[in-house]
Chain A
Amino acid sequence: MTEFNLYKFGVMVEALDMSQKCFNLVKQLNNIVDEDCQFSPIVFYSEYAKHVDVNRFGMLLDQKVWAYDGVVIATSLKSAEILLNCPCPKRKFLYVWNLDWLYNQYVYQYLQHIYQGELELIARNTHHAKVITTCWKKPAYIMDNFDSTILKQIIRGKNNND
């Protein structure tokens, strides 16, 4: 009889709204929940918003990340900032959905704290990965649109090549 491992993980968003990011997130998390009961995802949000689809996973306010002991993935600078201050998550990731420094002017120290700090980075594609490596540090994973296969690997702690 094989041992049953429960993989707890959370994804932080500002609002689970009707954006491309949240559409893909809801779709892939629903897939994971339907396919594999070993995974227990939670979406942590700052503001409530109308969802793009019915979600079959839990949702909590982002204040709860502080005491959450699973793997947590932040998806924006704001959520990364919150995640950096949380002592409990087992592993902390930042999914670099946007190359934010291209769109707004930030203070370098602030970006450095987020991108070169303790968070492991996840890039969306190889082109992003190359830019992120040049500017900050090498991403630990490349995951296209919350691809459920890669997402499971990340949560299990396996490398891209495993």
Chain B
Amino acid sequence: MKILIENPTNPILEGIAQTIVNLNIPIVIWDKRSPLNDMLDTYQPDILFISNVHNTTQTKTKIVQLNFSSNNLSEIDTNLINVDNVDKPSIPYNFKLAANFTYHNISANSNYLTDIFYYSQTSTLTILQHLIEIEKHYQIKIVGPAKLPLYSYLGISSVADMLTFAKSCKIALAFDMNTLYTYLVNKIRCVTICKNDIYPYVEQSQQLISNIHSLLHDKTAQEENDKRIQQAYNSIISDHTYFHRLKDIFHLLGYEQQSQECMTVLNKALEKADVSND
């Protein structure tokens, strides 16, 4: 089986790409420099993963068109896949949120030490206001694709770097659900402003700073946070990783062997992660 995937410019496409690499399936990234049809003629993939804006291609390749959506853990619908018309090769896959479990081997690094870490995916005024307040009180380091007008914004980084940072810092800030899932699956202590079913909703910067303060200094708050992380980790690991999502997609497309392989690789990765945690 050969897979072609659009250049992973967002963490969801990156999660899918990394998981496919973990499954040892040949994968080629389409960097958008040449037309998609030329890539399909040259590489002739069996499956094409593509975001819906590029899906204008008529081809015999099975196209998985990803419609991204984010959800809370409790709201995730198990019936994810909708096939509108079986004659059409294109499958709109309502891609519910999942966690990237392919970086579990990453460990902390002394060059990345900081009190607070934030991975900036989008720069909105609300996020900026929160960060300005945090920057006044704590040492914070920010990396990510969205440039922020702050001293502590240090450039673009890979997801691997982001997790090294997150594992080296005392608290990671997760201002979107995808990042939150990635932190939870790696058992990283974090504070969030997202509406979710794991942490209470935070709206004001003052409240966020008070949460950070208690997480840094209060043992009870730390223990409570760790319990929440463990609960969320169990829930994600049982149903909501990119391995689970790819298992469903491969099953739908008729690749049963690859579908089963997803769970085998995930279980092996879990065993390894448990050993390294011990």
Say yes or no: is B57 at the interface (Cβ < 8 Å to chain A): no
* A134 contact set on B, CB distance < 8 A: 139, 151-152
Provide the bound-state CA to CA distance between A112 and B165, in Å.
12
Residue A161 at the chain B interface, CB threshold 8 Å? no
Q: Which of B147, B149, B151, B157 is in CB contact (< 8 Å) with A135?
A: B151
Q: Across the interface, do B151 and A109 meet the contact criterion of CB distance under 8 Å? A: no
Q: Which of chain A's residues 60-112 have a Cβ closer than 8 Å to chain B?
A: 99, 101-102, 105-112
Interface string of B131-150 (1 = CB under 8 A from A): 00000000101010001010
Cβ contact of B156, chosen from A102, A106, A131, A135, cutoff 8 A: A106
Residue of A nearest to B161 (CB): A108
| Chain B residue nearest to A128 in the complex (CB) | B151
For the residues of A in contact with B, the DSSP-based class is: helix
Q: Which residues from 15 to 51 on chain A have a C-beta closer than 8 Å to any C-beta of chain B?
A: none
B200 within 8 A of A: no
- Cβ contact within 8 Å between A135 and B161: no
For chains A and B in complex, what number of residue pairs have CB atoms within 8 angstroms? 37
CB distance from A137 to the nearest CB of B (A): 9
Chain B residues in 8 Å Cβ range of A101: 153-155
Q: How far is the CB of A82 from chain B (nearest CB, A)?
A: 20
Tell me if A116 is interfacial: C-beta within 8 Å of chain B: yes
Q: Which residues of A contact B157 (CB under 8 A)?
A: 107-109
> Which chain B residues numbered 74 to 115 have a C-beta less than 8 Å away from chain A?
111
Question: Please, how many angstroms separate the alpha-carbon atoms of A116 and B147 in the complex?
Answer: 21
Assuming the contacts A102-B151, A105-B156, asked whether A112 and B139 have C-beta atoms less than 8 A apart, the reply is: no
Q: Give the interface residue-count category, chain B.
A: 10 to 19
Instruction: Decide if A110 touches B155 in the complex (CB within 8 Å).
Output: yes
Which of chain B's residues has its CB closest to A133's CB? B139
A131 CA to B141 CA, complexed, in Å: 11
Q: How far is B28's CA from A42's CA once the two chains are assembled, in angstroms?
A: 50
On whether the beta carbons of A107 and B156 are closer than 8 Å, the reply is yes
Q: Within 8 Å CB of B141, what residues of A?
A: 135
Name the distance in Å between A123's Cβ and chain B's nearest Cβ.
13
CB of A105 within 8 A of CB of B147, answer yes
- In the bound assembly, the distance between CA atoms of A108 and B112 in angstroms comes to 11
Taken residue by residue from 120 to 142, chain A's Cβ proximity to chain B (1 for < 8 Å, 0 otherwise) reads as 00000000000100110000000
The 5 closest A-B pairs by CB, nearest first: A108-B155, A108-B157, A106-B155, A108-B143, A105-B147
What would be 13 A-B contacts, judged by CB atoms less than 8 Å apart? A99-B151, A101-B154, A102-B149, A105-B147, A105-B155, A107-B155, A107-B157, A108-B154, A108-B157, A112-B154, A131-B151, A134-B151, A134-B152
